[in-house]
Amino acid sequence: MNTRLTWICHGATTASRKALFPLDEPLEGRAAQEAGRIAALPRADHIVTSPALRARQTADALCLEARIEPSLRDCDYGRWAGGSIEAIEAAEPENLLAWMAEPEVAPHGGESLVDLRKRVAGWMETQAAHGGHVIAISHAAVIRAAVAHVLQAPPSSFWLTDVEPLAILRMTNNGSRWSLRFQH
């Protein structure tokens, strides 16, 4: 059974512009307008979104009626949520370094990168079993985890993928494996 998965990263927020660990914040004012300028998306069998406000607002700006999918929620950053990377580096340098160098740890009390990847991979495998085309509106961290899963890359590769606001990434599954799909 063939599956197409189109990932859309939510639009820009204050947290994404200021390098903050996100809370459940809204899109920036112009982000909805930018989303509205995205070219028409292909028809999908299922459209899902993270429960986060910024993802739901992106779906609305794209005129997509999306079902909330809890598995697409952003990484749980624990006590770091709302804080700047700079402030956390100053207050907890060894914890920030451990989180970035050891994907199985979660010194912030939230979710480790390994756990994030397992959650995303499990959701993707469920989609592969159903087939069809799915549009998923989610977060940069979730999409990074999906890319690492598809490439069967080591957990440390999470940091090697940049996902901009409103980025679109396509993947396919032929019933036995996932592939990245680049098209113009």
* Tens-level pLDDT at each residue, the chain (184 residues): 899 999 999 999 999 889 899 999 999 989 988 988 887 888 999 999 999 999 999 999 999 999 999 999 999 999 999 999 999 999 999 999 999 999 999 999 999 999 999 999 999 999 999 999 999 999 999 999 999 999 999 998 999 999 999 999 999 999 999 999 987 5
**What pLDDT was estimated at residue 184?**
59
User: Are the C-beta atoms of 107 and 97 separated by less than 8 Å?
Assistant: no
**What pLDDT was estimated at residue 32?**
86
Cα–Cα distance, 74 to 180 (Å, whole number): 21
**What pLDDT was estimated at residue 39?**
77
**What pLDDT was estimated at residue 38?**
86
If you ran DSSP here, which 8-state letter would residue 10 be given?
Answer: P
**What pLDDT was estimated at residue 130?**
94
**What pLDDT was estimated at residue 37?**
84
Q: Left, alpha or beta for 166 (phi > 0: left; psi -120 to 50: alpha)?
A: left
Distances in Å between the Cα of 65 and the Cα atoms of 18, 61, 133, 160 are 30, 10, 15, 32
Domains in the chain, CATH or no CATH each:
3-181 (3.40.50.1240)
Closest CA to 145 of 163, 166, 167, 127: 163
Strands 46-49, 3-9: pairing kind: unpaired
Closest CA to 32 of 4, 63, 7: 63
